[in-house]
Amino acid sequence: MWKPPNSRKIKLPVVDWPSASTARQSLWFSPLELGGCKLEQRTWVPAMVPWRATDQGEVTPAVIDWYRRFAAGQPGAIVVEATGIRDVPSGPLLRIGHQRYVEGLTQVVQAVREASGGRTRLFIQLIDFLAIRRRVEAVKFLTRFLTIDDPLRERLGLAGESSDRAREALLRMNEERLAEVLSPRALEELRQGYRERVTDVDLAHIRELPQQLPKLFADAAARAKLAGFDGVELHYAHAYTMSSFLSALNTREDGYGGPREQRIRLPLEVYQAVRDSVGGDYTVGARFLTDDIVAGGSRVEDACYFGARFAEAGMDFLSLSRGGRFEDAKQPKVGQAAYPYTGRSGYECMPSVYSDERGPFGRNIADTAKVRQAVRSAGFETPVVACGGIHSFDQAEAILRAGQADVVAAARQSLADPDWFLKVREGRGSEVRRCEFTNYCEALDQMHKAVTCKLWDHHDLTEDEPRTADGRRRLVAPAWRREDVATPRA
Ligand SMILES: Cc1cc2nc3c(=O)[nH]c(=O)nc-3n(C[C@H](O)[C@H](O)[C@H](O)COP(=O)(O)O)c2cc1C
Ligand code: SF4
């Protein structure tokens, strides 16, 4: 993973956990209306893909176990992982693109209701993404995938010659020479693998995204409602289709790109279609970026504008993330696809302790506060969810008290210890298994391997615990054995 220049290992801050009564009186453990539903607390587990669905995107017992385990900690809300809205093969990514997925998803909802005693609200993140292919050997790319057009023939000094002649010439070139003659896009494909983008309007299916996506999202949201979810989170963040429409890198000239007002048009149309499909009292929010981080991308001023417009349109919550884009992704090895969390923007999305002096904790908070302020200045009270490097009660509480956000989410800390919200609330914070922010889990995600936390395996595996296929790792966090522990702080 990318690290800031001159990075060093930052120590985990010493944490002073609250007593049960302090936690009870805190903002973080206080309720909040979120559109048509009520959060019992402002604690939140954001979307995390655990790679446990079938290759057809169906719910498995391991998916149910994963969410049941988070629900045992009784957070205010859990957002189910990015779930594909189309009925197309997408590997083991959870899907909601057809009615046949509703039954499995209903079981996830039931498991969360049971395990949390009805205290946790459950949302599902709806995602659309464009095609990306693995990087191939240069020879294969030049002989099979590269399109030979007239400008390329001219750059090769082979105007009017056959494609075969052009390919022969290219095959004799070294990388430096190839960089001179290939178009920037072809060169990128050679180095990174093929990746579609929202600006590829020469492709009919990309040109028609504004006509197709509203219905795809709306139908998926209707299925989520049918399955019993309390609401949906539209995935407008990171490297995917909707975030790419919002990005300043979107230069489409069909009214859906260019200035902010046009880049937000499709995200608003998608939201409106979803709202029409699920009705006014169903919770619908979006996750988007405070900053794309990549060169030429959107900045916090854009995010402030987007936030105010989303609030005006009637969204029930705004969840802010940061970075996680393809444009600065590391070069993948031959046979692998580019991964959007490997460059600087990926670092800003999931910062690790190998960091600059700012450290990995709360790097997105100042910008989140700016977006919230813009929403408030525009006259809306829409709740804003903050995320990124949250590791302690004091930190979350300070964010809420300072009015920087209305809900505070924690992904990796909740993965390390799904019971941590409950432990803190009961005055047993000293028992929290603290995330080390070294991103072992993220490396597994990158390889599309079952995500687990390295800390789960510090205890011996018992016979009856579900494990990964190689038998080595726990698939869910070890149980919290309360009887082992000291008296809680009252
Ligand atoms: C294994 C893993 C999978 C993730 N999957 C998603 C996802 O499906 N959708 C999403 O918006 N963010 C995803 N994220 C990002 C997290 O929601 C969160 O924004 C990020 O980890 C930073 O928060 P943290 O510091 O609390 O971990 C994922 C993070 C991890 C570690
Ligand atoms: S593997 Fe566990 S300890 Fe490491 S970053 Fe992920 S959640 Fe935190």
Per-residue pLDDT of the chain (490 residues; tens, 9 = 90+): 788 988 999 999 999 999 999 999 999 999 999 999 999 999 999 999 999 999 999 999 999 999 999 999 999 999 999 999 999 988 899 999 999 999 999 999 999 999 999 999 999 999 999 999 999 999 999 999 999 999 999 999 999 999 999 999 999 999 999 999 999 999 999 999 999 999 999 999 999 999 999 999 999 999 999 999 999 999 999 999 999 999 999 999 999 999 999 999 999 999 999 999 999 999 999 999 999 999 999 999 999 999 999 999 999 999 999 999 999 999 999 999 999 999 999 999 999 999 998 999 999 999 999 999 999 999 999 999 999 999 999 999 999 999 999 999 999 999 999 999 999 999 999 999 999 999 999 999 998 899 999 999 876 777 778 888 888 889 999 999 875 555 677 7
Residue 125 bridge partners (DSSP): 233
- In terms of residues, how long is the chain? 490
Residues of the chain with CATH 3.20.20.70: 8-129+210-459
Distance CA 395, CA 36 (A): 28
Q: Could you tell me the two tokens for 75?
A: 């957070």
Distance CA 417, CA 390 (A): 13
The response to whether residue 435 sits with its C-beta less than 6 Å from ligand 2 reads: yes
| DSSP state for residue 209 in the 8-state scheme | H
The response to whether residue 436 sits with its C-beta less than 6 Å from ligand 2 reads: yes
Ligand in nearest proximity to the CA of 351: 1
- pTM of full prediction above 0.75: yes
φ and ψ of 359, to 5 deg:
70, 175
Closest alpha carbon to 91 in 119, 49, 150: 49
Distance CA 234, CA 215 (A): 13
Of all protein residues, the one whose alpha carbon is nearest to atom 6 of ligand 2 is 441
Of all protein residues, the one whose alpha carbon is nearest to atom 10 of ligand 1 is 47
The response to whether residue 126 sits with its C-beta less than 6 Å from ligand 1 reads: no
Could you please state the CATH topology (level 3) that the domain comprising 8-129+210-459 is classified under. Answer: TIM Barrel (3.20.20)
Distance 416 CA to ligand 1 centre (A): 13
Q: Could you tell me the two tokens for 73?
A: 């900690």
- Tokens 């050679």 correspond to 190
Closest alpha carbon to 46 in 254, 310, 306, 285: 285
Ligand in nearest proximity to the CA of 347: 1
Distance 385 CA to ligand 1 centre (A): 13
Closest alpha carbon to 198 in 133, 247, 146: 247
**Contact status, residue 1 vs residue 342, Cβ threshold 8 Å:** yes
Distances (CA, A) of 23 to 29, 164, 417: 7, 71, 18
Q: Could you tell me the two tokens for 121?
A: 């609200």
3-state secondary structure of 286: strand
Distance CA 231, CA 381 (A): 18
Q: Could you tell me the two tokens for 341?
A: 């969390």
Distances (CA, A) of 201 to 76, 94, 144, 205, 240: 42, 28, 23, 8, 16
Closest alpha carbon to 383 in 410, 411, 403: 403
Distance 388 CA to ligand 2 centre (A): 13
The response to whether residue 220 sits with its C-beta less than 6 Å from ligand 1 reads: no
Of all protein residues, the one whose alpha carbon is nearest to atom 3 of ligand 1 is 48
The response to whether residue 145 sits with its C-beta less than 6 Å from ligand 2 reads: no
Neighbours of 323 (CB within 10 A): 29
Ligand in nearest proximity to the CA of 441: 2
Ligand in nearest proximity to the CA of 452: 2
The response to whether residue 416 sits with its C-beta less than 6 Å from ligand 1 reads: no
Helix axes 265-278, 209-227, angle to 10 degrees: 30
- Which of 414, 420, 439 best tests ligand 2's pocket when mutated (most atoms within 8 Å of CB)? 439
